[in-house]
Structure 1
């Protein structure tokens, strides 16, 4: 019998552990992406958190964006990161203390936020919905905790936009399709605006950013993970996997390897009473 557990370490059912080494390293690597930095900057400009406001960062991970919000709301306000992974909360608390940040972190999940109705002026949530089986419930929770006039920035990946080139087109399609099938909510990015609108929030702006890996620093371990998963699920043969590896390595050597995926962002607000 196949293992029925969620495959992602960040799936909502897999985030109660205390070992933060691998997830923290993964989040740090993603944060180093120029595309991620650009989309985050766009989101923070749109949110425009102000001194004295209460800001909530859902799925705060290592706390990098919670600390940005804390600096914006100052000591007169409150910035809280909601994170179910105990190990990541510990990392976030350590980093906040090292920077002298007032950001604080609490246990909680996107589907059941530990805040009262209308308590938040600003909500930030990045790459959480892709790991949820019930993103609509999380959208309803965001609407619940926002005060009238409160703002939210919701950012997530749409894995159907992923590109891996070159390689046999059928092999690449099988490998990438298998990866999407294993995700809890692989098409999260395209659904964000509709999910927020469905819970009564007004959409103010939409954004997107292709996350393109440079050919000379492309994530070879990720490529191999995808290839091994494709063989394990019998989507491709070992020979096809090895040919794909060779094609991609040769392309990387001549600067022709392309690996990317697109993130989408939505800025919305709860209508003023």
Structure 2
């Protein structure tokens, strides 16, 4: 499946809950198109590329290492790790979504990367068998992120390194938006995310799992480009859900979407959220 800059009409059926374990798709093909579009669009953002580069350098996969990406999506970072650890080592992507796993396998066909089914709370690796772990924007979708941190600690060898990256949705900012409407919109969205403030909790969760956390915590503001804001599919979807929940009136939702879209078409809209990257090490 090639990367496509065109916003697919199927994205109107996409929900943030599509990344959650117990979600059941009403249209699996449409959902997969939405998932791939969102992941590809995020990967192309310069801010995401910078944080990923910083994170990969921090955990420094070496030739011969076993490197694991938990929740690998379309597999781009697994391929990057494969180039560093192979042929003596292994780069393994863990992805529970069968459609995304199939896309990852197709895109990584010549890389030597491996992709397997699995979950963050039950990783398919023996104790102390992995050198490098990365996990990006998975904890926000987990009802038990502390359990995932313990799993990372379990599989890391002494000297093993992990980087966990996640958003904190309380940091989301948007313009233009009425402050009260934006507050109720955000609170509605947060209620649909199992762990919406994941970013701020990563350090203590990894420490409680017995890992030593680096003092330097990476961060970036993910600023969405005008090309996405000018057709704000996810804003429309989330506003519709907020109306269903009674968080917004239909008039408030329509006004929010219309004013935001018009501003984006003039190059005046702004939407951003902060991601944090925490590096941890296994010393025992």
Normalising TM by the smaller chain, what interval? over 0.9
CA distance in 2, matches of 1:141, 1:152: 11
Alignment of 1:48 onto 2:60: yes
CA distance in 2, matches of 1:266, 1:146: 15
Structure 1 counterpart of 2:219? 208
Q: Is the 8 A contact 1:18 1:86 kept in 2?
A: no
Distance 1:215 1:25, change over 3 A: closer
CA shift, 1:21, in A, is: 2.5
Q: Is the 8 A contact 1:176 1:226 kept in 2?
A: no
Q: Find 1:234's aligned residue among 246, 252, 270.
A: 246
CA distance in 2, matches of 1:191, 1:89: 28
Q: Find 2:113's aligned residue among 103, 110, 119.
A: 103
Structure 1 counterpart of 2:17? 8
Q: Find 1:27's aligned residue among 29, 39, 45.
A: 39
| Comparing 181-190 and 215-224, the one that deviates more | 215-224
Partner SS, residue 217 of structure 2: strand
Q: Find 1:183's aligned residue among 174, 188, 193.
A: 193
CA distance in 1, matches of 2:127, 2:177: 51
Q: Find 1:258's aligned residue among 259, 264, 270.
A: 270
Distance 1:260 1:7, change over 3 A: closer
Map 1:1-273 onto structure 2 (within 5 A). Answer: 8-14=17-23, 19=29, 20-97=32-109, 100-204=110-214, 205-218=216-229, 220-271=232-283, 273=284
Partner SS, residue 8 of structure 1: helix
CA distance in 2, matches of 1:269, 1:196: 9
Aligned residues: 265
CA shift, 1:75, in A, is: 0.7
Partner SS, residue 76 of structure 1: coil
CA distance in 2, matches of 1:245, 1:21: 23
CA distance in 2, matches of 1:248, 1:23: 23
Distance 1:15 1:70, change over 3 A: farther
| Comparing 247-256 and 101-110, the one that deviates more | 247-256
What TM-score, normalized by structure 1, do the two folds share?
0.92
In the alignment, structure 2 segments of 5+ residues that lack a partner are 1-14
